[in-house]
Chain A
Amino acid sequence: MSTKAARRAFHERAGRALADPALQRIIAEGQDYVQTHLEPARAQAWWPAALEEIGRVRSETLAHLDDYVAQFASNVEAAGGHVFFAGDAGEARRHVTELAVQRGVKTVVKTKSMVTEEIALNGALEARGVEVWETDLGELIIQMAGEKPFHILGPAIHKSLEDVCELFSRSAGRQLPADPQALVRYARETLRERFLTAEMGITGANFGVAATGSVVLVTNEGNGRMVTTMPRAHVVVMGVERLVPTFPDLEAILKVLPQAGACMRATAYVTAVTGPRKTGERDGPEELHVVLVDNGRSRILGGRYAEILKCIRCGACVDVCPAYRKIGGHTYDSVYSGPIGAVLSPLLFGLERYAELPYACSMCGACSEVCSARIPLADQLRSLREDVVAEKLGARSTGVGFAAFAAVAKRRRIWSALEQAALPLVAWAAARGEWSSIPGPLGAWTRSKALPRPEARSFRAQWRNKDRR
């Protein structure tokens, strides 16, 4: 898709979201809920220090990522696991698919994993005749709906109870009550048999611990425990940057992540898996495979955006972003949405395709303030805008307009002459009062706001007269 087509598509998606009052209400209520319930934790004395510690641990990990990856891989293997190094999405997909096919896997159960969405794993497995069941409730809902995640932690937050009831009823072949308990019970009953019979479980990883080769999952529903216990093969697909050096380095993360992500002191389960089951154990997988995915991360690591890899996927930035509040997750057309998505998507998948995302931002800086890993998100968004301009990926009219402005602004005499010439027009505009609509191409400025009444005299003219008075 060309940049121009991508831009048009972005604005169409944003327009649809803005014109949907039910969606606007759901997103706003969700953000307000998080901000209200997160406030007590943020007010605690330990909170700022915890964020600094998370930033420090993640920076330290990235600064020595090659060593930590080598250590992690060695320890996974020492514990009886297997490690595959996937340079890109294609390699990762092929490897996991071959693992399934070689083992005669008919059914896979999966936990929520953004990286498996990133590499489009489900489609590859299904093309080889493997049935894939998403077991996280939100992921199950969007799998049934055939949609992308709407939020990095709550993939189906845009769905109303009635929407979910309709999806589940269609799947069940009978009308289910639009009652949360009943719908969750349906998901539990439906997936219980899949957990018990699936030959392969696929998870992501919240973190890998380099010192022990452990994979840590932070979950609430119990599906993470099921997927890592019942199937005979467990495959972990994880971004190469998702490591910490040691278990103690998880302390601050385990305090902040449940709060920022779910407004909870602790999630129901923190599961640390180290290798497959040991000799004599009655359950647990017989095989453990860890797929470390690069897919552009080493390229990001080598540049000025390396800090984005510190992200712990807590969702704090998404839940405070005013742009996300209006346009929602699907407008980003990426696995990753919100401020983290606006930075990561162009870096991973190409600035040409995602040139609009850095502009899906009011530059309020709230994302940088709340980021659990102290990533300067707002600075990175601004830098990406510079990249868009440098690579001439922006709208031509914008480029021409700013070039004209720059040419005039650098020349004081021309600026003053134009100012003088415009005075009668400005005086006429000032007499009209507020401008709630401007015709022509500049009309976009007044689509959702009114321009204030312009001053009848320029600032410099007023300043000159100030001293005389």
Chain B
Amino acid sequence: MDRVAFLARLSRSLAHAQLPPDAAQARDAEVATTSGRGEILRLFLDRAHESGAVPCVVPTIQAAQEAVEKLVARRAWTRVVCRSSMVWPGIGSIHSSDARSADLGLATADWAVAETGSVAVESSPEADRSSSLLPAATGFFVSLESILETTGDALRKQLAREPRAIPSCTCLVTGPSSTGDLAAQHVVGAHGPVEVFIWVIEGSADAAPAAETSRADD
């Protein structure tokens, strides 16, 4: 059916639609964020933990890098995938096209939501989707100041942009993947990552490490 006919059919139906009278009322005025940074951080950590993620707070990017190195060493992981601007001397990394064989995928969260303990990743030429999707474990660097208090704040501030400015994909990640479809039993780890680590960086507006000569071939 062509667009004009399709829309015309809807318009004709609307002339007779029986909908409740409150349809045209405006939404209530937005409620501004009132909590302080400390409260937002505490809420984020609680909710992230509740979702099954493993969050922690570190003072600087360097401390986050050290935490990642310790985790990788403890787990004897050998293949870490991340975008090139995240590479640093202490972490071996593989090209993002090999994300499927990585032990750990690292990503910088573009923003986060305290109310749900979620981190958001937006796709771009510099940030692929696969790194935080294909490996069984993923880790996110989140800057403290990028944590918004509520989902509503996120929707209003981050996603209500001009259409041309919207990323091709924004994914809000809350804990590891899971399913309740198997005899109503909750099982962690379905098709997405089985483990989610979050390092909240207190110290800097830019969570990405300084650009280094990349070991990963771009």
Q: In the complex, are the beta carbons of B125 and A222 less than 8 A apart?
A: no
Contacts A85-B2, A183-B182, A222-B133: A282 and B169 contacting too (C-beta < 8 A)?
Answer: no
Q: Which residues of B contact A220 (CB under 8 A)?
A: 177-180, 190
- Tell me the minimal C-beta distance from A83 to chain B in angstroms: 8
Q: In the complex, are the beta carbons of B170 and A248 less than 8 A apart?
A: no
Interface window among A1-9, A113-121, A134-142, A454-462: A134-142
Q: Which residues of B contact A211 (CB under 8 A)?
A: 160, 163
CA distance A256 to B193 in the complex (A): 25
| CB < 8 Å neighbour of B173 from A254, A269, A283 | A269
Q: Which residues of A contact B14 (CB under 8 A)?
A: 63-66, 301-302
Q: In the complex, are the beta carbons of A248 and B160 less than 8 A apart?
A: yes
Q: In the complex, are the beta carbons of B166 and A214 less than 8 A apart?
A: yes
Q: In the complex, are the beta carbons of A303 and B18 less than 8 A apart?
A: yes
CA distance A86 to B24 in the complex (A): 28
Q: In the complex, are the beta carbons of B160 and A164 less than 8 A apart?
A: no
| CB < 8 Å neighbour of B24 from A55, A60, A78, A269 | A60
Q: In the complex, are the beta carbons of A271 and B118 less than 8 A apart?
A: no
Q: From A63, which residue of chain B is reached at the shortest CB distance?
A: B23
- Tell me the minimal C-beta distance from B207 to chain A in angstroms: 20
Q: Does A184 have its Cβ within 8 Å of any Cβ on chain B? A: yes
CA distance A240 to B3 in the complex (A): 12
Q: Does B9 have its Cβ within 8 Å of any Cβ on chain A? A: yes
* Chain A interface category by residue count: 35 or more
Q: Does B32 have its Cβ within 8 Å of any Cβ on chain A? A: no
Contacts A56-B22, A63-B23: A222 and B166 contacting too (C-beta < 8 A)?
Answer: no
Q: In the complex, are the beta carbons of B19 and A85 less than 8 A apart?
A: no
Q: Does A188 have its Cβ within 8 Å of any Cβ on chain B? A: yes
Q: In the complex, are the beta carbons of A56 and B191 less than 8 A apart?
A: no
Contacts A225-B192, A281-B123, A292-B6: A265 and B51 contacting too (C-beta < 8 A)?
Answer: yes
| CB < 8 Å neighbour of A268 from B2, B97, B160, B173 | B173
Q: In the complex, are the beta carbons of A248 and B156 less than 8 A apart?
A: yes
CA distance A277 to B123 in the complex (A): 8
Q: From B156, which residue of chain A is reached at the shortest CB distance?
A: A248
Q: Does A250 have its Cβ within 8 Å of any Cβ on chain B? A: yes
Contacts A247-B160, A303-B16: A184 and B189 contacting too (C-beta < 8 A)?
Answer: yes
Q: In the complex, are the beta carbons of A137 and B19 less than 8 A apart?
A: no
Contacts A250-B155, A294-B6: A274 and B47 contacting too (C-beta < 8 A)?
Answer: no
Q: In the complex, are the beta carbons of A283 and B129 less than 8 A apart?
A: yes
Contacts A69-B7, A251-B151, A277-B123: A164 and B182 contacting too (C-beta < 8 A)?
Answer: yes
Q: Does A307 have its Cβ within 8 Å of any Cβ on chain B? A: yes
- Tell me the minimal C-beta distance from B148 to chain A in angstroms: 12
CA distance A229 to B129 in the complex (A): 7
Q: In the complex, are the beta carbons of A301 and B184 less than 8 A apart?
A: no
Give a binary string over B7-41; 1 marks a CB under 8 Å from any A CB, 0 the rest: 10111111111111011110110100000000000
- Residues facing A in B45-91 (CB within 8 A) are 47, 50-51
CA distance A304 to B20 in the complex (A): 11
Q: Does B172 have its Cβ within 8 Å of any Cβ on chain A? A: yes
- Tell me the minimal C-beta distance from B44 to chain A in angstroms: 12
| CB < 8 Å neighbour of B177 from A221, A229, A248 | A221
Q: In the complex, are the beta carbons of B123 and A284 less than 8 A apart?
A: yes
- Tell me the minimal C-beta distance from A329 to chain B in angstroms: 14
Contacts A154-B181, A191-B191: A229 and B169 contacting too (C-beta < 8 A)?
Answer: yes
Contacts A184-B182, A247-B159, A274-B163: A85 and B125 contacting too (C-beta < 8 A)?
Answer: no
CA distance A277 to B202 in the complex (A): 32
CA distance A327 to B10 in the complex (A): 36
Q: From A158, which residue of chain B is reached at the shortest CB distance?
A: B183
Q: Does B204 have its Cβ within 8 Å of any Cβ on chain A? A: no
Q: In the complex, are the beta carbons of A70 and B1 less than 8 A apart?
A: no
- Tell me the minimal C-beta distance from A58 to chain B in angstroms: 9
CA distance A266 to B173 in the complex (A): 9
Contacts A214-B166, A266-B116: A222 and B191 contacting too (C-beta < 8 A)?
Answer: yes
| CB < 8 Å neighbour of A298 from B2, B10, B171, B184 | B10
CA distance A70 to B8 in the complex (A): 11
CA distance A223 to B23 in the complex (A): 35
| CB < 8 Å neighbour of A269 from B128, B174, B179 | B174
Q: Does A177 have its Cβ within 8 Å of any Cβ on chain B? A: no
CA distance A273 to B122 in the complex (A): 10
Q: Which residues of A contact B172 (CB under 8 A)?
A: 266, 269-271
Contacts A30-B184, A274-B163: A281 and B178 contacting too (C-beta < 8 A)?
Answer: no
Q: In the complex, are the beta carbons of A226 and B191 less than 8 A apart?
A: yes
Q: Does A340 have its Cβ within 8 Å of any Cβ on chain B? A: no
Q: Which residues of A contact B124 (CB under 8 A)?
A: 278, 280-281
Q: Which residues of B contact A303 (CB under 8 A)?
A: 16-18
Q: In the complex, are the beta carbons of B128 and A281 less than 8 A apart?
A: yes
A221-B181, A302-B16 known, 4 other contacts, Cβ within 8 Å? A70-B7, A136-B181, A265-B116, A272-B159
Which of B's residues lie within 8 Å of A, judged by CB?
1-3, 5-7, 9-20, 22-25, 27-28, 30, 47, 50-51, 96-97, 100, 116-118, 123-125, 128-130, 133, 151-152, 155-156, 159-161, 163-164, 166-185, 187, 189-193
29 intermolecular pairs with C-beta atoms under 8 Å apart: A30-B184, A63-B17, A70-B7, A75-B163, A141-B181, A184-B182, A184-B189, A214-B166, A225-B191, A226-B191, A230-B130, A247-B155, A247-B159, A248-B155, A265-B47, A266-B116, A266-B117, A266-B151, A271-B171, A272-B159, A275-B168, A277-B123, A280-B125, A284-B123, A298-B13, A301-B10, A302-B12, A302-B14, A306-B17
Which of A's residues lie within 8 Å of B, judged by CB?
26, 29-30, 33, 53, 55-57, 59-60, 62-66, 69-70, 73, 75, 78-79, 83, 85-87, 91, 135-138, 141, 154-157, 159-161, 164, 180-181, 183-185, 187-188, 191-192, 195-196, 211-214, 220-223, 225-226, 228-230, 240, 246-251, 254-255, 262, 265-284, 292, 294, 298-299, 301-304, 306-307, 374
A-B complex: 5 closest residue pairs judged by Cβ atoms: A222-B192, A302-B13, A280-B125, A221-B190, A138-B181
